[in-house]
Chains A and B, each alone.
Chain A
Amino acid sequence: AQSVTQLDSQVPVFEEAPVELRCNYSSSVSVYLFWYVQYPNQGLQLLLKYLSGSTLVKGINGFEAEFNKSQTSFHLRKPSVHISDTAEYFCAVHNFGNEKLTFGTGTRLTIIP
């Protein structure tokens, strides 16, 4: 069975500081990995995804993530956050051969002016 762990439920960060949101997954087969963002009172939208190829993936709004197979991690990073990055971030994993996407419990990012 696949599972996704987001270790931090809430992360407060000062504006213009860097941020890392952590995501670990468990799977015995190859995976596709995703980060979704949910702005207040909205649905989720795709931030970035890893399907294959380069392990460093760049997404929208200056975010990037690195797939680390040996550590089964897919941490999300941004070098300098903005007030508009205030949102909830969800990591998700899709196992090959499984029809379902499994989501983590989410990390609420709060930007402090």
Chain B
Amino acid sequence: DVKVTQSSRYLVKRTGEKVFLECVQDMDHENMFWYRQDPGLGLRLIYFSYDVKMKEKGDIPEGYSVSREKKERFSLILESASTNQTSMYLCASSLVIEETQYFGPGTRLLVL
């Protein structure tokens, strides 16, 4: 079974803080994704990566950056957290980019 884990289930941060969200997958998948989920908006892609050190912008990359130094780990960075980044963040991975994505349990981030 594919397992995708995220470093925290719940996180509370203050405006202006630098925030790191970590995601690890154990199935040697090439592709990894970060989404944010908001009520009524569904899932929106922030960034994705198809290989180590490679990254591509998704639909809403502003205010975020990512890092993929190892194949199994994909980090999302909020350079200076703002209240409008309060959301549920979901990480996913896939073997082939157009195929099934496997999701982690999500991190619910509250920025005060």
Interfacial residues, chain A to chain B (CB-CB below 8 A): 6, 9, 32, 34, 36, 41-46, 49, 51, 90, 94, 96, 99-101, 103-106
* Binary contact track B78-100/A, C-beta < 8 Å → 1, others 0: 00000000000010100001111
Report Cα–Cα, A55/B44, bound state, in Å. Answer: 27
Interface size on B, residues (CB 8 A): 26
Q: Are the CB atoms of A34 and B104 closer together than 8 Å?
A: no
Counting from the closest, the 8 A-B pairs by CB-CB distance are A43-B103, A105-B42, A103-B43, A44-B103, A103-B42, A43-B105, A94-B98, A46-B100
Residues in B whose Cβ lies below 8 Å from that of A43: 4, 90, 92, 103-106
| Cβ contact within 8 Å between A99 and B48 | yes
Residue of B nearest to A49 (CB): B100
Asked if B50 lies at the interface with its beta carbon under 8 angstroms from chain A, I say yes
The chain B residues found within 8 Å of chain A, CB to CB, are 4, 33, 35, 40-45, 48, 50, 56, 58-59, 90, 92, 97-106
A100, B104: Cβ atoms closer than 8 Å? no
14 more A-B residue pairs beyond the given contacts A44-B90, A45-B102, A100-B59, with a C-beta to C-beta distance below 8 A: A41-B105, A42-B105, A42-B106, A43-B4, A43-B104, A43-B106, A44-B43, A44-B103, A46-B101, A46-B102, A90-B42, A99-B56, A99-B97, A103-B44
